[in-house]
Amino acid sequence: MRQQIVAGNWKMNNTLSEGSALVSSILEKIHHPKGLVVLAPPFTSLLSVGVQINGQEGFHLAAQNCHHETKGAYTGEVSAAMIAQAGASFVILGHSERRQYFHETNEMLASKANQALSNGLRPIFCCGEPLDIREDEKHELYVETQLKAGLFHLDEANFRKVVIAYEPIWAIGTGRTASSGQAQEMHRFIRSLIASHYGTQVAEDTTILYGGSCNAQNAAELFGQPDVDGGLIGGASLKADDFATIVNSLS
Ligand code: PGA
């Protein structure tokens, strides 16, 4: 059974007090969500946000990244086991900002997915093409390479725990959203890739989120597409009203 999810990726925003105020306001506005609501604050707020959403129907906690090794001399890094013990059940992996600014490779991301899953965390695995690749019409091949290299080594039981987020880089934080048609086309393509690797039932059951300038105005149309199962929300997840409208756009 496919789950609908709206995940808020706070990125490097919100101190403890700012995060706490935002979560309080979100909790006032969202009741009985139609899917899972996943909040991904910075590491420093994982514990406190986890306490705030504890017992709230449909709410789950995510980290924005984890390291690809189990533990050791990696100053400044955080392991999947640490994140799991802090109360998270999801972890965002391979966000384009991580790939671009922190040089995360597909190979590293495959290890991160293994770390996450072996510590009980469900990866929200990001993929998506830059503008020049889209303009060259090579976007399907680009995303196929990311998914094959980062995820398709997993066995079926583990793959079933993964959520995929398609985020065209040209749409992230730019105000330029993929049209609902472009999103649907890529989501259907991703589902066909999953079907050819894991079979049609696994493909039908996989949650595929859209991300990139998804907002209160366009969420309903995007989520109305048959292969779009919710969103990974950046900027609009920092405003309780907008985030609640997006969550309430799940049908
Ligand atoms: P945006 O970010 O909604 O601000 O475009 C989405 C993301 O990067 O996950």
CATH code of the domain covering residue 59: 3.20.20.70
Using CA positions, which residue lies closest to atom 7 of ligand 1? 234
Residue 173's pLDDT is: 85
Q: Which two tokens stand for residue 229?
A: 């199962």
pLDDT in tens, 238-249: 999 999 999 999
Distance of CA 220 from the midpoint of ligand 1 (Å): 16
pLDDT band at 251 (very low <50, low <70, confident <90, very high): confident
- The CA radius of gyration of the chain, in Å to the nearest whole number, is 17
pLDDT at 189 over 90: yes
Mode of pairing for the β-strands spanning 90-93 and 208-211? unpaired
pLDDT at 181 over 90: yes
Using CA positions, which residue lies closest to atom 3 of ligand 1? 234
Asked about 57 being catalytic, the answer comes back as no
pLDDT in tens, 89-125: 999 999 999 999 999 999 999 999 999 999 999 999 9
pLDDT at 2 over 90: yes
Least confident of 43-52, 132-141, 171-180, 182-191: 171-180
Distance of CA 233 from the midpoint of ligand 1 (Å): 5
Residue 174's pLDDT is: 87
pLDDT at 155 over 90: yes
Q: Which two tokens stand for residue 61?
A: 């906690």
Residue 150's pLDDT is: 98
Neighbouring residues of 219: CB distance < 8 A, sequence distance ≥ 6: 231, 245, 246, 249
Residue 29's pLDDT is: 97
Atom of ligand 1 lying closest to residue 237 CA: 3
Distance of CA 234 from the midpoint of ligand 1 (Å): 3
Site residues for ligand 1, CB cut-off 6 Å:
9, 167, 172-173, 211-214, 232-236
- For range 178-184, the mean pLDDT: 95
Asked about 144 being catalytic, the answer comes back as no
Distance of CA 173 from the midpoint of ligand 1 (Å): 5
- For range 121-144, the mean pLDDT: 97
- Work out how many domains the chain is built from and give that number: 1
Top mutation candidate among 232, 238, 249 for ligand 1, by most atoms within 8 Å of CB: 232
pLDDT band at 177 (very low <50, low <70, confident <90, very high): confident
What is the CB neighbour count within 10 angstroms for residue 114? 17
- Among 75, 77, 17, 5, which Cα is nearest to 41's? 17
Neighbouring residues of 18: CB distance < 8 A, sequence distance ≥ 6: none
**Mean pLDDT, the chain, as a whole number?**
97
Render 40-51 in DSSP notation, one character per residue. E--GGGHHHHHH
Residue 16's pLDDT is: 98
Residue 20's pLDDT is: 98
pLDDT in tens, 17-75: 999 999 999 999 999 999 999 999 999 999 999 999 999 999 999 999 999 999 999 99
Using CA positions, which residue lies closest to atom 2 of ligand 1? 234
Q: Taking each helix axis as running N to C, give the angle between helix 240-247 and helix 16-29, from 0 to 180 degrees, rounded to the nearest 10.
A: 40
Atom of ligand 1 lying closest to residue 214 CA: 3
Catalytic residue among 67, 95, 139, 187: 95
Q: Which domain holds residue 133?
A: 5-247
158 by Cβ neighbours in 10 Å (0-12 / 13-18 / 19+) ranks as: middle
Using CA positions, which residue lies closest to atom 6 of ligand 1? 234
pLDDT in tens, 72-98: 999 999 999 999 999 999 999 999 999
Phi-psi region of 96 (alpha: psi -120 to 50; beta: other; left: phi over 0): alpha
Which residue carries 């006032």 as its tokens? 28
